[in-house]
């Protein structure tokens, strides 16, 4: 089994209170407000993907956390996402205080307990010092029943946890090798780590996208053997597999589970790798008896700044037509900035997370959506409005475009500004993801078409946006969300204005609104929300 993660660089501005860096879920390690990419960031990301020399990241006398695993933890040697697949170990530094502990990911795609023991374990062990921690998660590639005993990648082992063995003669050099059981290899790992003063931790495996006749995720076959060895050797054990399966079966929409993988049912997309990393961290927090938990960053509980008691919050995610950071200087305003004037403050509050220059994809890539996701509570509403910036180049320039349409097609592309790889989806796919995430948290997603541009057709009417409106409508319907055609509502108001009046609704260009234009769009949004008669939010407008 082989894999690779999918990565990208972005940096968030110091003045932006949204992500605070540490402890924040991100799909890419470094974030950017300007979308300009520094060569230094490229070097940083390459350092994060390259397999380190064992012990090379040790900082003085501080401990090191070594990761031993396969491609579900780290994809091949480069770990650069060339095939859209990422290992969860790549994202683990986001959750640890790396000023107090270093993390070295020595997992390698395709390895079994036997093959890793033969080729990679002892170079890692030579770097282990007293007080270090070593996570062991192997088993996806262990072959039973005689397969790969003397051929292939020599990953064949004996099943179970017994002491029995089988001796084989390897072809070519005639070397005699004693093949052990799965459990016995784990015993060797544990003993060798402890011999050097290290602290081993056993994990059950990541979950596969494999569902049984009962519709539930199939448990991994190795879990009980790992648990047995952990109890026998008095080693901390985390049932990683059970924790992930619980989310698949009880928390996530099945459509979400689909995109947590890339190309097959074993290897994670960047999204799945983040879920795996944060699940491990969640389980580790529950285990204060495991000393490694002391090195975790403090858990951050996010709360919307607009939260007022039990009132629902109306979240807005979008681009500069929803929010401009320097409106007083530029004269340009986003409609989300004045939306409070159109809601009943006794019933609902507004939290505007729109950000200039963002497409649906870059809003997600930069971790901005994750902040909203963390702040959502049951009963909230989430307005999702993208499209103005989504039609640009995908991997050149600002590199913020997506594939047009609503398909589930995906492709790995290399970003020219960084040389890094990213899995790219369609515009509608990103909208559906936002909707599914919002519903997962108990919120009600409402997709809106984009604000109209100041262009008139031969008939004298404002030109309506067709493609992104239709794709947004379709995505909302596919996700089971609500849709408001703000483009039509707001354009109809412009139709009733003469040219000079319409021009005054915009500032500096045909896209961005003046304060008057922002109010027109906000009034249009409120009108659209009032039309959703089945929703309580329709009665929360002024």
Active site residue 509: yes
Active site residue 512: yes
- Report whether 520 contacts 490 (CB < 8 A): yes
Catalytic residue among 214, 234, 310, 509: 509
**For the chain, what percentages of helix, strand and coil (3-state, to nearest 5) are there?**
35, 15, 50
* Six-digit token string for 496: 């009733």
Active site residue 320: yes
Catalytic residue among 102, 115, 270, 320: 320
Total Cβ atoms within 10 A of residue 234? 7
| Nearest partner of 198 among 106, 96, 117, 292, judged by Cα | 292
- Report whether 41 contacts 419 (CB < 8 A): no
User: What Cα–Cα distance (Å) separates residue 92 from each residue in 202, 278, 451, 517?
Assistant: 16, 8, 39, 45
Which residues does 146 contact at the CB level (< 8 Å), separation at least 6?
156
First to last CA, the chain: 58
Catalytic residue among 512, 514, 519, 524: 512
User: What Cα–Cα distance (Å) separates residue 134 from each residue in 65, 103, 107, 121, 373?
Assistant: 6, 10, 11, 11, 32
Which residues does 478 contact at the CB level (< 8 Å), separation at least 6?
406, 428, 432
Catalytic residues: 320, 509, 512
């Amino acid at each position: 089994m082989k894999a690779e993660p999918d990565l990208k660089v972005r940096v968030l501005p110091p003045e932006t209170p949204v992500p605070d860096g540490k402890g924040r879920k991100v799909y890419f390690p470094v974030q950017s407000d300007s979308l300009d990419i520094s060569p230094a960031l490229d070097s940083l990301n390459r350092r994060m993907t390259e397999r380190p020399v064992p012990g090379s990241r040790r900082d003085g006398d501080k401990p090191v956390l070594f990761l031993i695993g396969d491609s579900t933890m780290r994809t091949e040697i480069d770990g650069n996402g060339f095939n859209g697949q990422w290992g969860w170990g790549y994202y683990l530094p986001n959750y640890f205080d790396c000023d107090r502990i270093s993390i070295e990911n020595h997992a390698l795609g395709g390895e079994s307990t036997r093959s890793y023991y033969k080729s990679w374990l002892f170079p890692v062990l030579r770097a282990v010092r007293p007080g270090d921690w070593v996570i062991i998660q192997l088993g996806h590639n262990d072959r039973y029943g005689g397969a790969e005993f003397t051929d292939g990648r020599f990953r064949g082992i004996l099943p179970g946890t017994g002491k029995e063995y089988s001796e084989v003669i390897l072809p070519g050099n005639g070397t005699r090798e004693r093949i052990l059981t799965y459990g016995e290899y784990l015993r060797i790992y544990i003993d060798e780590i402890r011999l050097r003063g290290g602290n081993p931790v056993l994990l059950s495996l990541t979950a596969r996208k494999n569902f049984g006749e009962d519709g539930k995720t199939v448990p991994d076959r190795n879990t009980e053997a790992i648990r047995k060895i952990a109890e026998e050797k008095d080693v901390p054990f985390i049932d990683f597999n059970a924790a992930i399966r619980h989310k698949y079966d009880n928390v996530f929409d099945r459509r979400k589970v689909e995109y947590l993988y890339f190309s097959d049912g074993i290897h994670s997309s960047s999204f799945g790798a983040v879920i795996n990393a944060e699940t491990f961290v969640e389980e580790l927090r529950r285990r204060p008896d495991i000393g490694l938990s002391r090195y975790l960053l403090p858990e951050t509980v996010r709360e919307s700044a607009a939260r007022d008691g039990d009132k629902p919050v109306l979240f807005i995610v979008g681009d500069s037509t929803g929010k401009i950071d320097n409106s007083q200087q530029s004269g340009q305003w986003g409609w989300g900035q004045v939306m409070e004037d159109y809601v009943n403050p006794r019933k609902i509050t507004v939290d505007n997370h729109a950000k200039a220059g963002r497409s649906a994809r870059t809003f997600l890539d930069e971790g901005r959506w994750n902040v909203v996701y963390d702040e959502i509570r049951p009963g909230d509403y989430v307005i999702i409005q993208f499209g103005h910036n989504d039609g640009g180049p995908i991997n050149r320039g600002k590199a913020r475009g997506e594939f047009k349409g609503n398909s589930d097609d995906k492709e790995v592309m290399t970003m020219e500004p960084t040389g890094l790889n990213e899995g790219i989806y369609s515009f509608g796919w990103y909208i559906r993801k936002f909707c599914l995430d919002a519903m997962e948290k108990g919120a009600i997603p409402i997709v809106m078409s984009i604000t109209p541009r100041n262009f008139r057709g031969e008939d004298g009417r404002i030109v309506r946006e067709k493609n992104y409106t239709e794709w947004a409508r379709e995505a909302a319907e596919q996700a089971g969300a609500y849709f408001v055609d703000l483009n039509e509502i707001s354009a109809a108001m412009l139709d009733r204005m003469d040219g000079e009046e319409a021009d005054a609704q915009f500032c500096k260009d045909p896209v961005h609104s003046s304060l008057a234009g922002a109010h027109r769009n906000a009034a249009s949004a409120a009108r659209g929300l009032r039309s959703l008669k089945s929703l309580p939010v329709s009665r929360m407008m002024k």
